[in-house]
């Protein structure tokens, strides 16, 4: 029995270094793929801004890269289920909205004001990042709206409650 068995996702929680590895189920999900693309596009945009004459904008892609990497790590290792004090969907929503706006603004400036190829590439990747982050916050918004709609539809009495108009006095 020299092989190391990997526990199923429904089994016991992983310990040690395996707890730091991402969950395969999350990484292949829609949210996981969006977060991976956010990390990748933010890193590429960061590298393009470093190589360009518009290096003043290098901070925004770096911060968005680190924040997307943290959220990817938190969701893939189920850190969000351990720390329930944070409002994870709201934090993720605000991160995506701010990233979309910031990437859109710095991309317009990089493409229109600077003439070197690296600035143009940073602007193009910034527009791609704007689309990816906007898609993510659109999906988060729809999920939150559907969750709130389900919470408002309480036409039937809850279990254990009796109708107060009954004739059995």
The whole domain housing 114 covers 22-149
In a domain, 37, yes or no: yes
In this prediction, residue 41 carries a pLDDT of 96
Full-model pTM: 0.74
In this prediction, residue 168 carries a pLDDT of 52
In this prediction, residue 26 carries a pLDDT of 79
pLDDT tens digits, 85-136: 778 888 899 999 999 999 999 999 999 999 999 999 999 999 999 999 999 9
In a domain, 112, yes or no: yes
In a domain, 158, yes or no: no
In this prediction, residue 6 carries a pLDDT of 44
In a domain, 14, yes or no: no
Measured torsion, CA atoms of residues 45, 70, 6, 83, in degrees rounded to the nearest 10:
-160
In this prediction, residue 5 carries a pLDDT of 43
In a domain, 6, yes or no: no
In a domain, 160, yes or no: no
Please count the structural domains in the chain. Answer: 1
In a domain, 13, yes or no: no
In a domain, 9, yes or no: no
């Amino acid at each position: 029995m020299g092989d190391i068995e990997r526990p199923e996702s429904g089994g016991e929680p992983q310990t040690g270094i395996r707890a730091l590895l991402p969950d395969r189920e999350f990484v292949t999900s829609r949210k996981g793929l969006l977060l991976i693309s956010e990390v990748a596009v933010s890193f590429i945009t960061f590298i393009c801004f470093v190589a360009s004459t518009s290096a003043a904008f290098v901070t925004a892609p770096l911060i968005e890269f680190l924040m997307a990497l943290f959220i990817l790590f938190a969701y893939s290792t189920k850190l969000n289920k351990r720390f329930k004090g944070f409002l994870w969907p709201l934090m993720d929503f605000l991160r995506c909205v701010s990233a979309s706006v910031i990437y859109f603004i710095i991309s317009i400036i990089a493409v229109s004001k600077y003439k070197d190829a690296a600035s143009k590439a940073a602007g193009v990747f910034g527009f791609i990042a704007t689309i990816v982050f906007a898609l993510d916050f659109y999906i988060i918004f729809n999920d939150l709206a559907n969750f709130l709609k389900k919470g408002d539809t309480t036409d039937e009495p809850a279990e254990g409650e009796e109708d107060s108009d009954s004739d059995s006095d």
